[in-house]
Structure 1
Amino acid sequence: MLGVIRQALTAQSPLIVDGAMASELEHRGVDTANALWSATALIDSPQLVRDVHEAYFQAGANIAITDTYQANIPAFEKAGLTTGEAEHLIGTAVSVALDAREHYRHHLANAGNGLSDDSFLDDARPLLVAGSVGPYGAFLADGSEYTGSYHLSHTAYQDFHRRRMQILSDSGIDLFAFETMPNIGEVQALIDLLSAEFPDREAWVSFSLGDSGHLCDGTALETAAAIADACPQISAIGVNCVQPELVTAAIGHIAAVTAKPIIVYPNNGDVYHPDTKTWTRCAGALSLSNMAPRWVEAGAMLIGGCCRTSPADIYHLAKAVHQ
């Protein structure tokens, strides 16, 4: 039986992943410069999260990633919420993504084929919701997802991620997104947790890189990809929130050790400053829409954007690979 990623790829290939959540929330008036980052909006403005998801579906995304990268129970508790409130907010992140998908489908059904001249916006295209499982480094809120310089025991990693994954699964996601993973010990713990406690779920794994051939903790990308490849429930392997210029070479390293679909969704090239939670714009960054056809040619089958990318970026990227 085909998994959800393989099944979706039979309907449309490449699949388009959505773009940034935090910067789009900022455009809508949400202050994300805090330890909860984009998850802040789940507390007071969940409707805005839904609006961002729908904007990406309208732009051509096949996959919405839930606003749970930074939304873990310890982070919400640290911000003063109860465990019950934290669990509810994680469920809310899934429900608003599902609502955005259904609202978009309803809009398509009412609009008929006259909604757009772009063939990739066909109303029959697959639409998935992936439950974001960000690394322990994201909880630290100090940029550790870009260094991988933290270490927990195998069991401690699993204890950190378990309840969030349970809520995501119970709330109706199509698959997990183990994303921005900089640390191979954490990846192995997540894969083992997936196999042992979520045997009917699949996930993609996307790594955070120090350079085009290594995770942030120094692990060779080919080694990490081979570990992910060995788990039948990992349905796609790739990189995210990396500089666009690293992607083509990274695809080559991953393709050397797996026949599974490769997923890439880099940031827009801007530089993040974790101490101030601000960004420095990179004026000479590569255009995702210009690079995306090269990534498809190199072997990527799921392509999108991460930090600082927009619905407009996703629309132009989708148009570039489907025209």
Structure 2
Amino acid sequence: MCSMESIASIQGAGPLILDGGLATELEAQGFELQGDPLWSSRLLHTNPQAIQDAHYRFLVSGADVVSTATYQASINGFMKHLDMSSESAQELMMSGVHLAQEAVQQFVTSNNDTERGRPLVAGSVGAFGAFLQDGSEYSGAYAENMSIEELKAWHRPQIGCLVSAGADLVAMETIPSVKEAVALMELLREFPSSRAWLSFSCKDGRSLCDGSPFLEAVRMAQRSSQLVAVGVNCCSPALVLPLLETISQLRSPALPWVVYPNSGEEWDRLSGWKASGTKVSSIAALSQEWMKQGATMIGGCCRVGPNHITELRKRLLIKFQ
């Protein structure tokens, strides 16, 4: 399991660079993922080498952390859509960590980069809404009809598998509601040696997708001793700075911010990604401002590829030379 000390050692004097959109990179290689109830996690079953290769490309491009292909994965989902037993589904979930670990080992063996520490593997855990495949991870509406215990019961098998497989961190991401975040924080205590980051899904520069103030959500998350960072992902890059400004009063060296927005394009559940109509500055161009606000873990989400991570790393390393 990863510790704050190991993160500090890999960061050195600079930020920790996260990867980009794994599904985006897989689609760039010709895989059809849109509309699949398992999204990129189906390839854990049908083409695991493609997953490992995509992780490797992000590592070569400059990522210090790669996230597993398990965002939209679940034991129930694998059993339903792949017609497999619970035991096989658990093994498939754990394979997401193993493939990322193999990519890290391949990178370490093939690249004599003494300035970078060994990259980390983050086990990706998406919101319950991702399983529903109806875009509700961007609304959080489902949480209104679920209890904390029901949400914990849903997430427990996935987190258990990722931890058992040896993920350095758990990435609890695109969380749209405070209730689900509370459930995840409580569940994390069942794995006391594990560390995680928590990133929210936000609809504007002040609020989570369920309408809760981002400030209050972050304040709640800061009560956990197992988090290494808290922040936001899969929003427009233009929203990151306003969101960080709303939590400036909570800034603490003990719990930095994690930010990894998407490209700024808008997602339509029926037609896919489309231009937002507003030109959005690149993640690399905005990243130094985010660092000034306390972000030390920075990367990209949907529609962000390896070339963007290369640009991001180059921009941030210039600052520290």
What TM-score comes out, normalization by structure 2 length?
0.92
1:319 aligns with 2:321: no
Partner SS state of residue 42, structure 1: helix
Contact in 1 for aligned 2:199/2:259 (Cα 8 Å): yes
Q: Aligned partners of 1:299, 1:261: CA distance in 2, in Å? A: 6
Which residue of 2 is the match for residue 41 of structure 1?
Answer: 43
Q: Structure 1 stretches (4+) deviating beyond 4 angstroms? A: none
Deviations 1:50-76 (A, max 9, x none): 111111111111110111100111222
Deviation, 1:146, is: 0.8
Q: How many residues align?
A: 310
Q: Aligned partners of 1:97, 1:80: CA distance in 2, in Å? A: 22
Query: Residue 229 of structure 1 is aligned with which of 219, 222, 227?
Result: 222
Which residue of 2 is the match for residue 167 of structure 1?
Answer: 161
Q: How does 1:147-158 map to 2 (within 5 A)?
A: 147-151=139-143, 152-158=146-152
Deviation, 1:5, is: 6.1
Q: Aligned partners of 1:52, 1:205: CA distance in 2, in Å? A: 24
Contact in 1 for aligned 2:196/2:227 (Cα 8 Å): yes
Which residue of 1 is the match for residue 93 of structure 2?
Answer: 90
Gaps of 5+ in 2: none
Report which stretch shifted further, 290-299 or 44-53. 290-299
Report which stretch shifted further, 23-32 or 214-223. 23-32
Contact in 1 for aligned 2:10/2:117 (Cα 8 Å): no
Partner SS state of residue 141, structure 2: coil
Give, as a single letter, the amino acid of the residue that structure 2 aligns with 1:296: M
Contact in 2 for aligned 1:66/1:94 (Cα 8 Å): yes
Partner SS state of residue 111, structure 2: helix
Gaps of 5+ in 1: 114-121
Which residue of 1 is the match for residue 202 of structure 2?
Answer: 209
Deviation, 1:10, is: 5.0
Cα RMSD for the two superposed structures: 1.7
Q: Aligned partners of 2:245, 2:297: CA distance in 1, in Å? A: 15
What TM-score comes out, normalization by structure 1 length?
0.92
Q: How does 1:1-323 map to 2 (within 5 A)?
A: 3=4, 6-8=7-9, 11-33=12-34, 34-82=36-84, 83-109=86-112, 122-151=114-143, 152-195=146-189, 197-259=190-252, 260-276=255-271, 278-282=272-276, 284-323=279-318
Q: Aligned partners of 2:156, 2:298: CA distance in 1, in Å? A: 28
Report which stretch shifted further, 95-104 or 257-266. 257-266
Q: Aligned partners of 1:8, 1:126: CA distance in 2, in Å? A: 10
Q: Percent identity?
A: 36
Q: Aligned partners of 2:116, 2:295: CA distance in 1, in Å? A: 22
Deviation, 1:27, is: 1.7
Give, as a single letter, the amino acid of the residue that structure 2 aligns with 1:191: M
Q: Aligned partners of 1:258, 1:74: CA distance in 2, in Å? A: 38
Contact in 1 for aligned 2:71/2:126 (Cα 8 Å): yes
Q: Aligned partners of 1:8, 1:174: CA distance in 2, in Å? A: 14
Deviation, 1:185, is: 0.5
Contact in 2 for aligned 1:38/1:67 (Cα 8 Å): yes
Deviations 1:74-111 (A, max 9, x none): 222231422223212111111110000000000014xx
